[in-house]
Amino acid sequence: LTEAIKMARAGLGHEHKPVGSFLFAGPTGVGKTEVTVQLSKALGIELLRFDMSEYMERHTVSRLIGAPPGYVGFDQGGLLTDAVIKHPHAVLLLDEIEKAHPDVFNILLQVMDNGTLTDNNGRKADFRNVVLVMTTNAGVRETERKSIGLIHQDNSTDAMEEIKKIFTPEFRNRLDNIIWFDHLSTD
């Protein structure tokens, strides 16, 4: 996370991509969202948060980039594109990304590839100065599975297999990193 930001600030990042694209995976309550909030504060830039459970249905996806011509509200931009146009230097948090409709992933592929997204009115939102963070609980069940007997079993491979089932190779390959979060130990 910090390496991607350092590279971008030094002008050594990918010029046509966001500053960084990250998937924060882990159980609820381990600090995935809090790290994102603190990142935006440390960088002194806006935090743009979208709860992906609100974009589970195909018809709700248009709220992100705006309704197509001929539909009610087509003259208005989308929530995501408008937010990034208004705050081009931001940390974008897409919370619980696994709940989003598959069309959202297609939109994100464009963002992670080209660093831009065009809304229904033809306005381009520039994501090249955005840190993209997506959170997920995918794979948690696998990592929290208890071992039988006295031997502790590492289930992280199973968790990664679950991530692979949910997120396509095209999507995973465009991420800068998948960062695993876990509960803090009592030590």
Is 186 contained in some domain?
A: no
Is 54 contained in some domain?
A: yes
- CATH number of the domain that residue 133 is part of: 3.40.50.300
Residue range 70-91: average pLDDT? 84
pLDDT digits (tens, 9 = 90+) for 141-165: 654 544 444 454 545 567 788 888 9
Of 53, 139, 39, 165, give the one whose Cα is nearest residue 101. Answer: 53
β-pairing, 20-25 with 116-118? unpaired
Is pLDDT larger for residue 42 or for residue 185? 42
Is 187 contained in some domain?
A: no
pTM comes to 0.85
Of 145, 175, 173, give the one whose Cα is nearest residue 159. Answer: 145
Is 156 contained in some domain?
A: yes
Is 161 contained in some domain?
A: yes
Q: How crowded is residue 17: how many other Cβ atoms within 10 Å of its Cβ?
A: 21
Q: How crowded is residue 130: how many other Cβ atoms within 10 Å of its Cβ?
A: 26
At 79, is the secondary structure helix, strand, or coil? helix
Is 185 contained in some domain?
A: no
Is 80 contained in some domain?
A: yes
pLDDT digits (tens, 9 = 90+) for 85-122: 999 999 999 999 999 999 999 999 999 999 999 988 88
Cα separation, 30 vs 36, whole angstroms = 12
pLDDT at 149: 47
In percent, the amount of the chain with pLDDT more than 90 equals 59
Radius of gyration (C-alpha) of the chain in whole angstroms = 18
Strand runs labelled E in the chain:
20-25, 46-51, 90-95, 116-118, 124-126, 130-136, 177-180
Q: Which domain holds residue 35?
A: 2-180
- Structural domain count, the chain: 1
